[in-house]
Amino acid sequence: MLALLLCFSLLLQLTFGSDFSSRSPFTTTQKRHFAMSPETLSKTCGALQDVIGTDAGNRGMKCLIVPGDLEKAAYAITSLEPKSTVVVLSGFPCCVTHDPPTETDGPPGTFAIARAMAALGHEVIVVTDTCNEAVFAAALENLALPSENCGSVVLQAYPPSLSEEEEKKFSKLANDCNLLVACERAGPSKDGVCYTMRAIDMNEKGLIAPLHRLVKESNAPFIGIGDGGNELGMGKVLDQIAANIPRGETIGCVVPADFLIAASVSNWGGYAFAAAAAATKANDQESLEAWLERCLPSEDEEIALLNRCVAVGCRDGVSGEVEATVDGMPLETSMQCLRDIRKAALDAGS
């Protein structure tokens, strides 16, 4: 077993780089597509990070924050050509004894990202595991999108082991991808296993598709969003996870993001990402308000989306109950965060 673990660790180093920093997502010479001044965008992203980085769940997530990475993620958005393909990975099947095993943190943030990218005119593919497909399909159903000049949002789901046809589809997904985003997506630890915060092995339960392969196979800029250290992209702060997060040495994801957005709740990171996307398009206060309206979901839309997820069996990942709460917190807490994000963006842009 030890030899197997050592081999897997070597494979990860060969795949992602021994210091996990060899990827070069884009260069400073690439064309940017944004209207807001760099100074205002920096101020806006800083304000958004302050809103989402309060450690509301008392997990110790502040140590996961990489200063400036939300701003850099916004710049990655501005590097996209019109009608680019944005792939959004999600799915954290931590409720392992239930069907579906999907938690309520993930789908709302994922589709907030998808909405924002579609609002900017891009084609969005949301990707999850087959065990999570019913919940994500419910979230996508009747998803509120801008009525004009909007890209599309579609869903793909993969099983733990891919058939020949699925491998071809997966390869096309990687080749087409221009920007890769992961929001509350389970990521492999140093032994190759995706663990819950309680260190429960989700691979052993047959729940995890090898979606992390897209980080290497797509060669697109990779933005990771998480709240606990075991999500895809958290390899960027692996030492912090091991030192500060309970069971961090075991559960920490070793796959690094180019840009890491750490939040108290991953959904909130998705909202902040969507607000940052809106900010890149605004050139004055009036247009900022319009772009926030276009990119960010309303409270009613988010409540309806979460209720659709719960109706097909989605559970709170902390309480384990089929209820419209997130990470053990009332829905109102998330709606207040959504309000605070909108206000922070408007105040910073004024």
Phi, psi of 221 (to 5 degrees): -55, 140
As given in the structure block, the two tokens for residue 86 are 């944005």
Give the number of C-alpha atoms closer than 13 A to the C-alpha of residue 251, restricted to the C-beta side: 22
- pLDDT single digits (tens) 227-283: 999 999 999 999 999 999 999 999 999 999 999 999 999 999 999 999 999 999 998
User: What share of the chain has pLDDT > 90, as a percent?
Assistant: 87
- pLDDT single digits (tens) 159-211: 999 999 999 999 999 999 999 999 999 999 999 999 999 999 999 999 999 99
Quote the strand ranges of 190-248, DSSP E. Answer: 222-226
Q: How confident is the model at residue 226 (pLDDT cuts 50, 70, 90)?
A: very high
Mean of per-residue pLDDT scores for the chain: 92
332 CB-near residues (< 8 Å, 6+ apart) = none
Rounded distance between C-alpha atoms, residue 115 and residue 113, angstroms: 5
Quote the strand ranges of the chain, DSSP E. Answer: 85-91, 123-129, 153-158, 179-185, 222-226, 259-262
Q: How confident is the model at residue 33 (pLDDT cuts 50, 70, 90)?
A: low
Q: Are 205 and 287 in contact (CB under 8 A)?
A: no
pTM of the model: 0.92
Provide the 8-state DSSP code for 247: T
Provide the 8-state DSSP code for 121: T
Of 91, 72, 42, 105, residue with least CA distance to 260: 72
The residues pairing with 128 across neighbouring beta strands, listed in sequence order, are 157
